[in-house]
Amino acid sequence: MAILVTGGAGYIGSHTVVELQNADYDVVVLDNLSNSSEKSLKRVERITGKPVPFYRADILDKAALDRVFEKENITAVIHFAGLKAVQESVRKPWEYYNNNITGTLTLIQSMREHGVKNIIFSSSATVYGTPAQVPVTEETPKGACTNPYGWTKSMLEQILQDIQYADREWNVILLRYFNPIGAHKSGLIGEDPSGIPNNLMPYITQVAVGKREELGVFGDDYPTPDGTCIRDYVHVMDLAAGHVKALKKIEENAGLCIYNLGTGKGSSVLEVIHSFEEATGIRIPYSVKPRREGDVPENYANVEKAYRELGWKAQCPGLKEMCADSWRWQSQNPNGYGE
């Protein structure tokens, strides 16, 4: 009996594989390495002391998926595989809809042909669009997304819900991640974006390590206390632990469940910069730039449902510790998994 982790070589996937193996689950990883390196899995093996069976394959490749389900005794799928760069998705909508939506439909087809009807899906806070009120609960209406990437998450949530409605043998858990940052304490695995980072934390760590000159802060005239946008930054190891809890929920035949995974606390861009500086003693030069198109002023989670139903709560004490962990990874691996 094993858990198939699609996209398991990526940032959140690799950390989740650690937590799964630590919880004594057998894990099989499938990834096409389009945005990751197999080295992450070698590092996971160093951390857990267990082998990570790996298939280099694409979720669009039905025959390859079928081979995995035929060979391995898969009971549930944790589905991370997908493209996730917001700006790129605006330029390449077809590629995003095809990879994320056709890929997931192909995965589901292979799953049901092999009698596997348990899935945990990586959704995102982006499905709330611009929330009318914060913190958002799972009952907060989904909103209009501002980019094709966000729509793939929103549409895939709907597709998975409809599949579960039509066939109640399915257990579908939609996890809406807020803003994952941090890295495993060992500094062996972490976030390794290709090209210029889109997200705040990897940009900050690349400035700190000397790969970028300064950080651009996208807007300081938002209706927030310091004028910069507010997000819910959550430690990636906490997210990983959330997947283990979600698997337990699936084992109870939970049907359809939706959970926010965040800390419940919002932090501004300037607060993140200052926490990083305090945690590391490194000054982050920055200048204020125009607002980034599509940014929402404020989004953070109400996390009571995940606590009530999964017994999950973010354990990391705060931003400073998350920053220290992001920095340990970046400073030990200035070029990520590259040479």
User: Can residue 208 be called a binding residue for ligand WQD (CB under 6 A)?
Assistant: no
Asked if residue 234 lies in contact with residue 272, where contact means CB atoms within 8 angstroms, the answer is: no
User: Can residue 124 be called a binding residue for ligand WQD (CB under 6 A)?
Assistant: yes
Binding residue for ligand WQD (CB under 6 A) from 15, 43, 79, 84? 84
User: Can residue 13 be called a binding residue for ligand NAD (CB under 6 A)?
Assistant: yes
The pair of three-digit structure tokens given for residue 322, joined into one six-digit string: 């998350």
> Applying CB under 6 A, what is the total number of residues that bind ligand WQD?
19
Give me the sign of the Cα torsion angle 30, 239, 292, 211.
negative
CA dist 227 and 214 (Å) reads 19
Task: Give me the residue whose beta carbon is nearest to ligand NAD.
Answer: 10
Angle (deg, nearest 10), helices 62-71 and 103-113? 40
Task: Show the site string, 168-207: x = touches ligand WQD by CB under 6 A, - = not.
Answer: -----------x------------------xxx--x----
CA dist 292 and 301 (Å) reads 22
Our answer to whether residue 203 is catalytic in this structure is no
Asked if residue 249 lies in contact with residue 307, where contact means CB atoms within 8 angstroms, the answer is: no
Asked if residue 202 lies in contact with residue 193, where contact means CB atoms within 8 angstroms, the answer is: yes
Task: Name the residue nearer to ligand NAD (CB basis): 13 or 219.
Answer: 13
Cβ-based neighbour number of residue 121 at 10 Å: 22
User: Can residue 127 be called a binding residue for ligand WQD (CB under 6 A)?
Assistant: no
Q: How far is the CB of 230 from ligand WQD (least distance, A)?
A: 8
Task: Show the site string, 40-79: x = touches ligand WQD by CB under 6 A, - = not.
Answer: ----------------------------------------
Q: Is 86 helix (H, G, I), strand (E, B) or coil?
A: helix
DSSP, res 337: T
Q: Cite the active site residues.
A: 149
Question: Could you list the residues that contact ligand NAD (CB under 6 A)?
Answer: 7, 9-13, 31-36, 58-60, 80-84, 99, 103, 122, 124, 177, 179-180
